[in-house]
Amino acid sequence: MPPRHLALAVAVAAVWGVNFVVIDIGLAHFPPLLFSALRFTVAAVPAVFFVGRPRVPWRWVLAVGVVLGVVKFGLLFIGMHAGMPAGLSSLVLQSQAVFTAAFAALLLGERPGRRRLVGLGVGVAGIVLAAFDQGSAGGGSGPMRAFALVVAAAVAWGLSNVLTRKAAPPDLFRWMVWVSVVPPLPLLGLSLLFEGRAADLAALRSLSPGGVGALLYVAWGATLFGFGAWGYLMRHHEATVVAPFSLLVPVFGMSSSWLLLGEPVTPVAGAAALLVIAGIGLSSVTPGRFRRARTAGAAAIAGARADVHAGAPARTPRPSVAAAAAARSGRPD
Domain boundaries, the chain: 3-285, 291-329
What is the Cα–Cα distance from 272 to 255, expressed in whole angstroms? 14
Identity of the residue numbered 32: P
Torsion sign, CA atoms 236, 107, 113, 156: positive
pLDDT number for residue 11: 94
CA atoms within 13 A on the CB side of 127: 25
Among the listed residues 39, 150, 38, 159, the one whose alpha carbon sits nearest the alpha carbon of residue 97: 159
> Residue 143 class from Cβ within 10 Å (0-12 exposed, 13-18 middle, 19+ buried)?
buried
Position 230 scores a pLDDT of: 86
pLDDT at 116: 77
CA angle 89/95/96 to nearest 5° reads 105
The answer to whether 86 touches 80, Cβ cutoff 8 Å, is yes
- Give residue 282's pLDDT: 76
What pLDDT does 278 receive?
A: 83
pLDDT at position 284 is 64
According to the model, what pLDDT value does residue 159 have? Answer: 94
Helices assigned H by DSSP within 217-266: 226-236, 239-242, 248-256
Q: What's the 3-state SS for 104-167?
A: HHHHCCCCCCHHHHHHHHHHHHHHHHHHHHHHHHHCCHHHHHHHHHHHHHHHHHHHHHHHHHHH
Residues 282, 286, 287, 290, Cα dihedral to 10°: -150
Q: Mind listing the pLDDT tens digit of every residue in the chain (333 residues)?
A: 788 998 999 999 999 999 999 999 999 999 999 999 999 999 998 788 888 888 899 999 999 999 999 999 999 999 999 999 999 899 889 888 888 888 888 888 888 778 878 887 887 888 788 777 766 665 455 578 999 999 999 999 999 999 998 998 988 889 999 999 999 999 999 999 999 999 999 999 999 999 999 999 999 999 889 988 988 888 888 766 777 788 788 889 989 999 999 988 878 878 888 888 787 777 666 555 444 444 444 444 444 444 444 444 444 444 444 444 444 444 444
Pair 326, 293: CB distance under 8 Å: yes
